[in-house]
Structure 1
Amino acid sequence: MVEHLTHPEGFRLLLTPNHSLSWRGNVRIWLGLLTVSAVIAAGMAVAGAWVIIPFAGLELAALAAGFYLTSRACQRREVLTVNDADIHLEKGRTRKLAEWTLPRRYARLRLSAPPHPFTPPKLELIHRDISVTLGTFLNIEDTETLVQLLEARGLAIERREPDPEIGLWF
């Protein structure tokens, strides 16, 4: 998701992955599945198939791990600030983990077309030997929106076609 934030000196964007549920919603779904699984496992155990209980527990543990990892991945954030002098990019989850400041005059964006039609294009912020990927978690529409917003602000975008590959799809 691309969200425009107010900034007194320029232009600021908040980039986040799309996520449909909050952590609380994920826990509620998991508790509902736990309840259904516990009722079924208890019924099978009463019927004599007690070996179902450890497998139900393993299934619920794997499901909880999947919910946790997915929810954690959806907390990623990128803040892109563009002003007259420089481009500032911050990446992190709950706090800033990395940041880059590049001079706007010499920095450029490289938009690499995807090799497959269902994947979004790759967007990189480049200055000399520094190359930072931007919005790797964005979908196709959000990536197009980001490119349009950055083009409207006057950033130079270098477009590249994918390298021809011999493979299953192409």
Structure 2
Amino acid sequence: MVQHYRGVNGSRLLLTPNRSLSWQGNVCIWLALCAVSAVIVTGMFLLGAWVVLPFAGLELLAVAAGLYKTARKCRRLEVLRISPENLLLEKGVNRKEAEWNLPRRATRIYLVSSRHPWSPPKLFLMYRETEISLASFLNIEDTRILISILESQGILIERRQPIVGFWF
């Protein structure tokens, strides 16, 4: 998701992955799965198949771990501040973990088109020998929105073709 805020000294872009459910929604889904699993496992246990109990518990534990990991990855946030002199990129999950302050005139933005029509193109900030991935989690439509916002801010985006190797 791309949120664009204009200010007196420039623009600020908030870049986040699309989230289909909140954490509370994920917990509700997991509890519903627990309830359905409890009904099925109880029936199997009453029929004498007690071996199903530990596997059902492991299955629910694996689903909980997957939901947690996915929800945590969806909490990523990138903030790109565009001023006349600088590009400031901040990345993190629930807090700022990395920050780059790059001069706008010397920083290039590369757009590497995707190899497959269903995958989004990749954006990179390049300053000297530093290559920083920009919003790698965005879908195709959000990437197009981000590109149009960057171009409307007067930022030149250089388009490149992907490097195709032997295994694609």
TM-score range, shorter chain: over 0.9
Shift of 1:161: 1.1
Partner of residue 61, structure 2: 61
Shift of 1:164: 3.3
SS of 1:96's equivalent? coil
Establish whether residue 101 from structure 1 lines up as the match of residue 101 from structure 2: yes
Shift of 1:163: 2.3
Partner of residue 27, structure 1: 27
SS of 1:164's equivalent? coil
Q: Deviations over 1:5-62 (max 9, x none)?
A: 2433101000000011000000001001101101110111011001111110011000
Shift of 1:119: 1.0
Tell me the amino acid that sits aligned with residue 15 of structure 1: L
SS of 2:97's equivalent? strand
SS of 1:118's equivalent? coil
In structure 2, distance between residues paired with 1:24 and 1:5? 28
Partner of residue 147, structure 1: 147
Structure 2: gaps (5+ residues): none
TM-score, length of structure 1 as denominator length:
0.95
Partner of residue 89, structure 2: 89
Partner of residue 122, structure 1: 122
Shift of 1:93: 1.0
SS of 2:7's equivalent? coil
Alignment size in residue pairs: 168
Tell me the amino acid that sits aligned with residue 141 of structure 1: E
In structure 2, distance between residues paired with 1:94 and 1:8? 27
Fraction of identical pairs, as percent:
55
In structure 1, distance between residues paired with 2:7 and 2:100? 18
Shift of 1:156: 1.2
